[in-house]
Homo-oligomer: A and B are copies of this chain.
Protein backbone atom coordinates (compact mmCIF):
# COMPACT_ATOMS: atom_id res chain seq x y z
CA UNK A 1 0.00 0.00 0.00
CA UNK A 2 1.08 3.54 -0.74
CA UNK A 3 0.89 5.68 2.38
CA UNK A 4 0.42 9.43 2.60
CA UNK A 5 0.38 11.37 5.83
CA UNK A 6 2.02 8.73 8.04
CA UNK A 7 5.13 9.91 9.84
CA UNK A 8 7.62 8.71 12.42
CA UNK A 9 7.52 11.46 15.03
CA UNK A 10 10.18 9.97 17.33
CA UNK A 11 11.92 6.68 18.05
CA UNK A 12 12.67 5.34 21.53
CA UNK A 13 15.04 2.56 22.50
CA UNK A 14 16.23 0.73 25.57
CA UNK A 15 19.51 -1.16 25.19
CA UNK A 16 20.66 -3.11 28.28
CA UNK A 17 24.11 -2.05 29.46
CA UNK A 18 25.41 -5.57 29.95
CA UNK A 19 27.10 -6.50 26.71
CA UNK A 20 28.93 -9.77 26.18
CA UNK A 21 31.35 -9.91 23.28
CA UNK A 22 31.84 -12.95 21.10
CA UNK A 23 35.32 -13.42 22.59
CA UNK A 24 33.89 -13.38 26.12
CA UNK A 25 31.15 -15.81 25.08
CA UNK A 26 33.74 -18.19 23.64
CA UNK A 27 35.78 -17.89 26.84
CA UNK A 28 32.68 -18.72 28.90
CA UNK A 29 31.98 -21.78 26.73
CA UNK A 30 28.71 -20.29 25.42
CA UNK A 31 29.94 -19.87 21.85
CA UNK A 32 32.45 -21.86 19.83
CA UNK A 33 34.84 -21.54 16.93
CA UNK A 34 32.42 -23.18 14.50
CA UNK A 35 29.83 -20.50 15.19
CA UNK A 36 32.39 -17.70 15.19
CA UNK A 37 33.60 -18.82 11.79
CA UNK A 38 30.12 -19.15 10.27
CA UNK A 39 28.64 -16.16 12.12
CA UNK A 40 30.81 -14.07 9.80
CA UNK A 41 31.31 -11.12 12.05
CA UNK A 42 28.58 -11.03 14.70
CA UNK A 43 30.21 -9.42 17.68
CA UNK A 44 28.01 -9.34 20.76
CA UNK A 45 24.79 -9.80 22.65
CA UNK A 46 23.12 -7.40 25.08
CA UNK A 47 21.70 -9.04 28.19
CA UNK A 48 18.77 -7.76 30.24
CA UNK A 49 19.03 -10.39 32.97
CA UNK A 50 15.99 -10.11 35.23
CA UNK A 51 14.53 -6.98 33.65
CA UNK A 52 11.26 -8.06 32.00
CA UNK A 53 10.83 -7.37 28.30
CA UNK A 54 7.73 -5.29 29.03
CA UNK A 55 9.68 -2.93 31.30
CA UNK A 56 12.08 -2.34 28.41
CA UNK A 57 9.11 -1.64 26.12
CA UNK A 58 7.89 0.91 28.68
CA UNK A 59 11.35 2.50 28.91
CA UNK A 60 11.55 2.74 25.12
CA UNK A 61 8.05 4.28 24.93
CA UNK A 62 8.98 6.86 27.58
CA UNK A 63 12.15 7.61 25.62
CA UNK A 64 10.05 8.22 22.50
CA UNK A 65 7.64 10.51 24.37
CA UNK A 66 10.50 12.49 25.99
CA UNK A 67 11.79 13.26 22.51
CA UNK A 68 8.37 14.27 21.23
CA UNK A 69 6.20 17.37 21.55
CA UNK A 70 3.28 14.95 21.91
CA UNK A 71 2.00 14.09 25.37
CA UNK A 72 0.78 10.75 26.64
CA UNK A 73 -2.71 12.31 26.60
CA UNK A 74 -2.46 12.65 22.81
CA UNK A 75 -2.09 8.91 22.31
CA UNK A 76 -4.94 7.46 20.24
CA UNK A 77 -3.72 3.95 19.42
CA UNK A 78 -1.18 1.48 20.76
CA UNK A 79 0.10 -1.74 19.22
CA UNK A 80 2.47 -3.92 21.22
CA UNK A 81 4.39 -6.63 19.41
CA UNK A 82 4.71 -9.88 21.31
CA UNK A 83 7.28 -12.49 20.28
CA UNK A 84 7.88 -14.94 23.11
CA UNK A 85 5.29 -14.84 25.92
CA UNK A 86 5.63 -11.54 27.83
CA UNK A 87 3.90 -12.70 31.03
CA UNK A 88 1.41 -15.29 32.23
CA UNK A 89 -1.06 -16.88 29.82
CA UNK A 90 -4.29 -14.86 29.80
CA UNK A 91 -2.61 -11.55 30.67
CA UNK A 92 -2.63 -8.62 28.22
CA UNK A 93 0.81 -7.07 27.60
CA UNK A 94 -0.34 -3.75 26.05
CA UNK A 95 -2.34 -3.11 29.25
CA UNK A 96 0.90 -3.20 31.22
CA UNK A 97 2.66 -0.77 28.87
CA UNK A 98 -0.29 1.66 28.89
CA UNK A 99 -0.70 1.51 32.67
CA UNK A 100 2.97 2.28 33.21
CA UNK A 101 2.72 5.19 30.77
CA UNK A 102 -0.42 6.46 32.50
CA UNK A 103 -2.48 6.19 29.32
CA UNK A 104 -6.04 5.23 30.11
CA UNK A 105 -8.81 4.67 27.58
CA UNK A 106 -6.57 4.18 24.54
CA UNK A 107 -7.51 1.53 21.92
CA UNK A 108 -4.77 -1.10 21.73
CA UNK A 109 -3.80 -4.36 20.05
CA UNK A 110 -1.46 -7.20 20.87
CA UNK A 111 0.14 -8.11 17.54
CA UNK A 112 2.07 -11.36 17.53
CA UNK A 113 4.48 -11.69 14.63
CA UNK A 114 7.84 -12.42 16.25
CA UNK A 115 10.73 -10.75 14.42
CA UNK A 116 8.35 -9.24 11.86
CA UNK A 117 6.37 -7.68 14.72
CA UNK A 118 7.39 -4.04 14.56
CA UNK A 119 6.48 -3.72 10.88
CA UNK A 120 3.29 -5.74 11.51
CA UNK A 121 2.43 -3.33 14.33
CA UNK A 122 3.23 -0.43 12.01
CA UNK A 123 0.88 -1.89 9.38
CA UNK A 124 -1.97 -2.15 11.91
CA UNK A 125 -1.24 1.39 13.14
CA UNK A 126 -1.34 2.72 9.55
CA UNK A 127 -4.88 1.35 9.33
CA UNK A 128 -5.85 3.32 12.42
CA UNK A 129 -4.07 6.50 11.23
CA UNK A 130 -5.36 6.49 7.64
CA UNK A 131 -8.71 4.70 8.03
CA UNK A 132 -12.06 5.32 9.67
CA UNK A 133 -10.52 5.61 13.15
CA UNK A 134 -8.72 8.81 12.12
CA UNK A 135 -6.12 8.48 14.86
CA UNK A 136 -3.41 11.14 14.82
CA UNK A 137 -0.90 9.73 17.31
CA UNK A 138 -0.05 6.03 17.54
CA UNK A 139 2.58 4.11 19.46
CA UNK A 140 4.16 0.80 18.42
CA UNK A 141 6.26 -0.99 21.03
CA UNK A 142 8.36 -4.15 21.05
CA UNK A 143 10.78 -5.79 23.45
CA UNK A 144 12.64 -9.04 23.99
CA UNK A 145 14.28 -10.74 26.93
CA UNK A 146 15.72 -14.06 25.78
CA UNK A 147 17.11 -15.01 29.21
CA UNK A 148 15.44 -18.40 29.61
CA UNK A 149 16.68 -21.96 30.00
CA UNK A 150 14.65 -22.75 26.87
CA UNK A 151 16.70 -20.35 24.77
CA UNK A 152 20.35 -20.55 23.77
CA UNK A 153 20.92 -16.99 22.64
CA UNK A 154 24.34 -17.80 21.22
CA UNK A 155 23.84 -21.00 19.29
CA UNK A 156 20.11 -21.74 19.47
CA UNK A 157 19.08 -19.86 16.35
CA UNK A 158 21.83 -21.23 14.10
CA UNK A 159 25.00 -19.48 13.02
CA UNK A 160 23.21 -16.43 11.62
CA UNK A 161 22.04 -14.84 14.86
CA UNK A 162 23.09 -13.90 18.34
CA UNK A 163 19.93 -13.03 20.25
CA UNK A 164 20.05 -9.73 22.14
CA UNK A 165 17.67 -8.20 24.66
CA UNK A 166 16.20 -4.71 24.34
CA UNK A 167 13.15 -2.53 23.88
CA UNK A 168 12.01 -0.23 21.09
CA UNK A 169 9.19 2.16 20.31
CA UNK A 170 7.97 4.09 17.28
CA UNK A 171 5.79 7.11 17.94
CA UNK A 172 3.76 7.74 14.81
CA UNK A 173 1.92 10.84 13.74
CA UNK A 174 -0.68 11.53 11.09
CA UNK A 175 0.46 15.16 10.93
CA UNK A 176 4.23 15.48 10.85
CA UNK A 177 7.50 13.83 11.75
CA UNK A 178 11.16 13.46 10.86
CA UNK A 179 10.61 10.42 8.64
CA UNK A 180 7.71 9.78 6.24
CA UNK A 181 6.36 6.31 5.58
CA UNK A 182 5.97 6.14 1.82
CA UNK A 183 4.71 2.59 1.36
CA UNK A 184 4.36 -0.73 3.15
CA UNK A 185 3.50 -4.20 1.90
CA UNK A 186 3.23 -7.44 3.78
CA UNK A 187 2.18 -10.96 2.99
CA UNK A 188 1.89 -14.47 4.33
CA UNK A 189 3.59 -17.42 2.63
CA UNK A 190 1.63 -20.18 4.33
CA UNK A 191 3.35 -22.92 2.31
CA UNK A 192 6.06 -22.57 4.98
CA UNK A 193 3.65 -22.62 7.95
CA UNK A 194 4.86 -25.98 9.26
CA UNK A 195 8.48 -24.85 9.29
CA UNK A 196 8.11 -23.39 12.78
CA UNK A 197 5.68 -26.07 13.99
CA UNK A 198 7.24 -29.35 12.94
CA UNK A 199 5.18 -32.18 14.34
CA UNK A 200 4.12 -30.30 17.48
CA UNK A 201 0.51 -30.53 18.57
CA UNK A 202 -2.01 -27.78 17.85
CA UNK A 203 -4.03 -28.74 20.91
CA UNK A 204 -3.92 -26.70 24.11
CA UNK A 205 -1.60 -27.86 26.89
CA UNK A 206 -2.10 -31.57 27.62
CA UNK A 207 0.78 -32.12 30.00
CA UNK A 208 3.71 -31.95 27.60
CA UNK A 209 7.05 -30.39 28.52
CA UNK A 210 7.78 -26.82 27.52
CA UNK A 211 10.06 -26.60 24.52
CA UNK A 212 12.10 -23.83 23.01
CA UNK A 213 10.74 -22.26 19.85
CA UNK A 214 12.55 -21.82 16.57
CA UNK A 215 15.35 -24.24 17.40
CA UNK A 216 17.45 -25.80 14.69
CA UNK A 217 16.02 -29.19 15.67
CA UNK A 218 12.44 -28.08 15.06
CA UNK A 219 13.33 -26.23 11.86
CA UNK A 220 15.28 -29.19 10.47
CA UNK A 221 12.19 -31.42 10.57
CA UNK A 222 10.48 -29.34 7.88
CA UNK A 223 13.55 -29.23 5.66
CA UNK A 224 14.08 -32.98 5.97
CA UNK A 225 10.47 -34.11 5.59
CA UNK A 226 8.44 -31.42 3.86
CA UNK A 227 10.52 -28.98 1.85
CA UNK A 228 14.30 -28.75 1.40
CA UNK A 229 16.00 -25.62 2.68
CA UNK A 230 17.05 -24.37 -0.75
CA UNK A 231 13.43 -24.51 -1.97
CA UNK A 232 12.32 -22.55 1.14
CA UNK A 233 14.97 -19.92 0.53
CA UNK A 234 13.97 -19.64 -3.14
CA UNK A 235 10.30 -19.15 -2.20
CA UNK A 236 11.20 -16.52 0.41
CA UNK A 237 13.53 -14.66 -1.96
CA UNK A 238 10.90 -14.38 -4.71
CA UNK A 239 8.18 -13.51 -2.20
CA UNK A 240 10.17 -10.78 -0.46
CA UNK A 241 11.50 -9.34 -3.69
CA UNK A 242 7.91 -8.91 -4.86
CA UNK A 243 6.98 -7.06 -1.63
CA UNK A 244 10.05 -4.84 -1.96
CA UNK A 245 9.41 -4.06 -5.62
CA UNK A 246 5.77 -3.16 -4.99
CA UNK A 247 6.85 -0.90 -2.13
CA UNK A 248 9.50 0.81 -4.27
CA UNK A 249 7.06 1.32 -7.17
CA UNK A 250 4.46 2.84 -4.81
CA UNK A 251 7.13 5.16 -3.42
CA UNK A 252 8.21 6.11 -6.96
CA UNK A 253 11.76 4.86 -6.37
CA UNK A 254 14.28 2.40 -7.74
CA UNK A 255 16.43 0.14 -5.60
CA UNK A 256 19.43 2.30 -6.47
CA UNK A 257 17.69 5.27 -4.80
CA UNK A 258 17.93 3.55 -1.40
CA UNK A 259 20.53 5.01 0.93
CA UNK A 260 20.02 2.23 3.49
CA UNK A 261 18.48 -1.22 3.62
CA UNK A 262 17.47 -1.80 7.25
CA UNK A 263 17.62 -5.57 7.81
CA UNK A 264 17.31 -7.70 10.94
CA UNK A 265 20.62 -7.93 12.75
CA UNK A 266 22.07 -11.16 11.42
CA UNK A 267 25.28 -12.37 9.81
CA UNK A 268 26.72 -10.42 6.90
CA UNK A 269 26.44 -13.25 4.41
CA UNK A 270 22.74 -13.72 5.08
CA UNK A 271 22.05 -9.98 4.69
CA UNK A 272 24.18 -9.80 1.57
CA UNK A 273 22.70 -12.85 -0.16
CA UNK A 274 19.05 -12.47 0.82
CA UNK A 275 18.58 -8.70 0.96
CA UNK A 276 21.32 -6.81 -0.89
CA UNK A 277 22.30 -8.96 -3.89
CA UNK A 278 18.69 -9.39 -5.10
CA UNK A 279 18.46 -5.57 -5.17
CA UNK A 280 21.87 -5.16 -6.76
CA UNK A 281 23.14 -3.14 -3.82
CA UNK A 282 26.46 -3.43 -1.95
CA UNK A 283 26.54 -4.70 1.66
CA UNK A 284 27.82 -1.26 2.70
CA UNK A 285 24.32 0.14 2.18
CA UNK A 286 22.86 -2.28 4.73
CA UNK A 287 22.66 -1.79 8.50
CA UNK A 288 24.99 -4.77 8.93
CA UNK A 289 28.01 -2.77 10.02
CA UNK A 290 26.43 -1.42 13.20
CA UNK A 291 23.65 -4.01 13.57
CA UNK A 292 26.22 -6.66 14.37
CA UNK A 293 27.16 -4.66 17.46
CA UNK A 294 23.59 -4.85 18.79
CA UNK A 295 22.72 -8.45 17.94
CA UNK A 296 19.24 -9.56 16.92
CA UNK A 297 16.61 -8.00 19.22
CA UNK A 298 13.70 -9.71 17.48
CA UNK A 299 10.97 -7.21 16.67
CA UNK A 300 13.10 -4.29 17.96
CA UNK A 301 15.78 -4.28 15.26
CA UNK A 302 13.97 -1.94 12.85
CA UNK A 303 13.51 0.83 15.43
CA UNK A 304 16.95 0.33 17.01
CA UNK A 305 18.58 0.73 13.60
CA UNK A 306 16.45 3.74 12.66
CA UNK A 307 17.45 5.33 15.96
CA UNK A 308 21.12 4.56 15.23
CA UNK A 309 20.94 6.06 11.74
CA UNK A 310 19.31 9.25 13.06
CA UNK A 311 21.52 9.75 16.11
CA UNK A 312 24.85 8.91 14.45
CA UNK A 313 24.64 11.29 11.51
CA UNK A 314 24.23 8.44 9.03
CA UNK A 315 21.23 9.93 7.24
CA UNK A 316 20.40 13.27 5.68
CA UNK A 317 17.10 14.79 4.65
CA UNK A 318 15.97 13.17 1.41
CA UNK A 319 17.59 9.80 2.13
CA UNK A 320 15.37 6.81 1.38
CA UNK A 321 15.30 3.69 3.54
CA UNK A 322 13.95 0.21 2.97
CA UNK A 323 12.94 -1.78 6.03
CA UNK A 324 12.59 -5.50 5.43
CA UNK A 325 11.78 -8.21 7.96
CA UNK A 326 10.20 -11.64 8.15
CA UNK A 327 9.24 -14.30 10.68
CA UNK A 328 7.57 -17.66 11.09
CA UNK A 329 4.27 -18.00 9.32
CA UNK A 330 5.90 -17.28 6.90
CA UNK A 331 5.31 -13.53 7.08
CA UNK A 332 7.35 -10.76 5.48
CA UNK A 333 6.99 -6.99 5.33
CA UNK A 334 8.73 -4.31 3.30
CA UNK A 335 8.44 -0.60 4.07
CA UNK A 336 9.94 2.40 2.28
CA UNK A 337 10.61 5.56 4.29
CA UNK A 338 12.10 8.94 3.49
CA UNK A 339 14.03 11.08 5.97
CA UNK A 340 12.52 14.58 6.03
CA UNK A 341 14.77 16.23 8.59
CA UNK A 342 17.17 15.46 11.41
CA UNK A 343 15.39 16.45 14.60
CA UNK A 344 17.11 18.18 17.51
CA UNK A 345 16.79 15.10 19.72
CA UNK A 346 18.79 13.06 17.22
CA UNK A 347 21.69 15.50 17.38
CA UNK A 348 21.69 15.84 21.16
CA UNK A 349 21.09 12.28 22.21
CA UNK A 350 23.80 10.26 20.49
CA UNK A 351 24.40 7.79 23.33
CA UNK A 352 21.46 5.60 22.48
Contacts and interface: CB of A to CB of B under 8 A. Distances in A.
Interface of A: 1-4, 6, 50, 52-55, 78, 82, 84-92, 94-96, 98-99, 103-114, 120, 123-124, 126-134, 145-151, 185-193, 196-198, 200-207, 210-214, 218, 239, 327-331
A150 B133 CA distance: 38
9 contacts: A52-B203, A91-B328, A95-B190, A108-B329, A108-B331, A126-B131, A149-B205, A150-B204, A210-B210
A156 to B, nearest CB: 11
User: 3 nearest interchain CB pairs?
Assistant: A127-B127, A90-B213, A131-B131
A139 B19 CA distance: 44
For A123, A129, A197, A203, which residue has the most chain B Cβ atoms within 10 angstroms?
A203
Contacts of A2: 132
Identical chains in the assembly: 2
A1 B214 CA distance: 39
A145 B213 CA distance: 22
Nearest to A192: B95
Nearest to A50: B203
Contacts of A132: 1-4, 6, 126-127, 130-131
Nearest to A200: B88
A38 to B, nearest CB: 22
Contacts of A123: 107, 109, 133
Given A147-B204, A204-B53, A210-B205, A92 B107 contact: no
Given A113-B92, A133-B1, A211-B89, A202 B55 contact: yes
A134 to B, nearest CB: 7
A90 B196 contact: yes
Given A78-B188, A108-B329, A190-B104, A149 B206 contact: yes
Contacts of A197: 87-88, 91, 96
A310 to B, nearest CB: 24
Nearest to A183: B132
A280 B187 CA distance: 45
B105 A188 contact: yes
A111 B111 CA distance: 5
Contacts of A114: 90, 92
Contact of A193 (B99, B106, B124, B203): B99
Contacts of A85: 89, 204-205
A218 B210 CA distance: 22
A214 B106 contact: no
B91 A213 contact: yes
Contacts of A78: 188
A328 B90 contact: yes
A329 B188 CA distance: 28
A201 B149 contact: no
Nearest to A123: B107
A96 B330 CA distance: 10
Given A90-B213, A104-B189, 8 more contacts: A52-B203, A91-B197, A94-B188, A103-B190, A107-B185, A110-B113, A148-B204, A150-B205
